[in-house]
Chain A
Amino acid sequence: MTKLVISAIGPASSVQDGGRHGAQRYGLTPSGAMDRLALAAANVLVGNSPLAAVIEIGPFGAAFTARDGAVRVALAGASRNADISGGTVAFNTSMTIPDGETLTLGFARRGSFSYLAIEGGIAGEPMFGSLAVNARAGLGSPYPRPLQAGDELQTPAASGGPERRLELPAPTDAPIRVLLGPQDDEFDDAAKQAFLDSEWRISATSDRMGYRLEGPAIKHLHGHNIVSDGTVDGSIQVPGNGAPIVLMPDRGTSGGYPKIATVISADLGRFAQTAAGTPFRFKAVSMAEAQAEFRKSAELLRTLPDRLRPIENFDLNIEALQDANVAGAAVSAVDAGTWSP
């Protein structure tokens, strides 16, 4: 059978999909892709269902080799230098890795997580309807842990279908929108203003469980201990030291710190792609606006296949050139020594 061999990969890289839902009442968190739009984009490019399992690649480099046949894949999410045996390839396109050749990826340039979808999906045993890795709970398939060099994913042979590109809306640097609550009454107006008016940066100690924020300390009105209650992706909890933590898909299902606000669903992926150290701001919106944005995102996800375009050589070259020009310091993905943070 054809397979994709992980020749090299950095930390924080794992198989992810739309997540496993329905068992949060037992303490099992959904996990799933940090950036759902990028997950869906990569899948749609190779004809998979939008929330099928893909390889989520953390900020560091990676290399993938096709064995016993060609493998058709697509890249989306955080852009990077990418080439197949030296020939530059572009993000938001499908591509075929010939048998024995290697797709090599550099560091993430804009964003943190890239998504590599494999035509036909990843073969594995779903647990609670999902292949997504949740290392703490020992879940995920084919490997219940982050990917390591030497891992192999079974794949169908490439269909030989025409390669395509996906036209996505232009990225934005607009503030990350939040709904206040559920425990915004644990903070006075000054604390809420400080939260909404300040510039924030994501700490380098962040991971798939939570993003720690660097900025002013947010003071509680009645102390930082509340009786644990349920969390969601995007819950912004404020522990005793006043430094907010935004909960991400591998979060605990309950938490005992007051939650000042919640990132709206439509902005979760964009927030997840905010690289450590990049300044950003929050903006409070109404429930009506948040749910209108939810509907817009769902509509975009649903209509992604309408945005597929045939690849003309001209398109590919322009994108490839742009990629190459922004490259700056290129780092070899197979040089494991450069991966230590």
Chain B
Amino acid sequence: MSATLPPPRLLPSGDSAITVEFSRNIDDAANQRVLALDRVIARQPIAGVTETVPTYRSLLVHYDPLRIGFDALSEQLVALAKLPVPPVTTARRWRIPVVYGGEHGIDLEDVARTLNITPDKIVARHVAGDYRVAMIGFTPGWSYLSGLDSQLHMPRRQNPRLLTPAGTISIGGVQTGVQCLAGPSGWHLLGRTPVRTYQLHREPTFLLEPGDAVTFSAVDAKTFADQNRAAEAGEIVAEMIAA
């Protein structure tokens, strides 16, 4: 198997970071190689590597050029990327409550019209999904999930919104996402979760890790409001259903 893995492209991101690119596209196999390389480096640290940032298709490796040069690090990364990708052993699985539609998910009706499916079926398909955290990025805790039902794929909005609420659950392209902080977004808003994927002064500050498995459960507005208060007080609210 491993002999057939194409080598990644090593792209310089300035003088102190290398992008290890496994694919140009959103591709689960590439994402698994990204996460596998990330884990290998976490287990066997490379002297001079200061930080790694997994994304859908590449691993950004920050390093200190005083301790290791571009060529030496590239060589090590290529060698590590050749290792067979271990079978997916998701350490953790989370169930995240979501209140769908209405004021909490203002695009649900539009998405239903565009995809020609009833809003209830959109929710049913979204809840039925078995997702994986492919990457966390953009703003703290913004978790990009792979595994969206292909019937729910749709292009991003022409005009991104400048402000979308904290806790937004949305879809965009082939992805779904859990957004933590209020901020801009071009995705379609299906609902909101009380779960904070990032919360200061809480242990852990960041709830999700790249590679974690995620499922959603539909809750009503009252449950959302109650859990939102609990979450604000520092409760995790998300349920860990496997560890």
Contacts and interface: CB of A to CB of B under 8 A. Distances in A.
Interface of A: 21-28, 127, 136-139, 179, 181-183, 226-235, 252-255, 259, 262-266, 287, 290-291, 293-295, 298
Given A26-B141, A229-B21, A232-B16, A139 B200 contact: yes
B102 interface: no
A294 B58 contact: no
A265 B51 CA distance: 16
Interface stretch (B75-83, B111-119, B132-140): B132-140
A24 B51 contact: yes
Contacts, number: 137
Contacts of A179: 12, 14-15
Nearest to B143: A27
B13 A262 contact: yes
Nearest to A287: B70
A23 B12 contact: no
B55 A28 contact: no
Contacts of A235: 13-14
Given A179-B14, A183-B11, 12 more contacts: A22-B51, A27-B141, A28-B140, A179-B12, A182-B12, A227-B24, A230-B137, A235-B13, A253-B137, A265-B16, A293-B15, A294-B65
A251 to B, nearest CB: 10
A183 B15 CA distance: 15
Given A27-B136, A27-B141, A182 B66 contact: no
Contacts of B17: 230, 232
Nearest to A289: B15
B62 A27 contact: no
Contact of B11 (A21, A23, A182): A182
A245 to B, nearest CB: 14
B123 to A, nearest CB: 26
Majority secondary structure of chain A interface residues (helix, strand, loop or mixed): mixed
Interface residues of B, number: 44
Contacts of A230: 13, 17, 19, 53, 55, 58-60, 137
A25 B41 CA distance: 14
A226 B137 contact: no
Contacts of A226: 24
Nearest to A127: B200
B155 to A, nearest CB: 10
B26 interface: yes
A291 B14 CA distance: 9
18 contacts: A21-B50, A22-B50, A24-B51, A25-B210, A27-B136, A28-B198, A137-B139, A138-B200, A179-B14, A182-B11, A227-B56, A228-B144, A230-B59, A232-B13, A234-B14, A252-B138, A254-B53, A290-B15
Interface of B: 11-17, 19, 21, 24-26, 38, 50-60, 62, 65-66, 69-70, 135-142, 144, 181, 183, 198, 200, 206, 210
Contacts of B52: 25
Contacts of B19: 182, 229-230
A85 B26 CA distance: 61
A230 B14 CA distance: 12
Contacts of A28: 140, 198, 206
Contacts of A136: 139, 181, 183
B24 to A, nearest CB: 7
B206 A254 contact: no
Nearest to A299: B66
B15 A227 contact: no
A149 B70 CA distance: 46
A25 B183 CA distance: 19
Nearest to B25: A227
B171 to A, nearest CB: 15
A294 B66 contact: yes
B51 A137 contact: no
A291 B137 CA distance: 27
A183 B21 CA distance: 11
Contacts of A26: 136, 140-141, 198, 206
Contacts of B66: 294-295, 298
B208 to A, nearest CB: 8
Given A26-B198, A227-B26, A259 B13 contact: yes
Most buried by B among A230, A232, A266, A295: A230
A145 to B, nearest CB: 14
Contacts of A25: 38, 51-54, 136, 210
Contacts of A287: 12, 15, 70
Contact of B137 (A139, A183, A228, A263): A228
Given A25-B210, A27-B136, A27-B141, A137 B181 contact: yes
Contacts of B140: 23, 26-28, 137
A24 B70 CA distance: 21
Nearest to B174: A227
A187 B132 CA distance: 33
A295 B68 CA distance: 12
A228 B56 contact: yes
A26 B144 CA distance: 11
A331 B75 CA distance: 56
B75 to A, nearest CB: 14
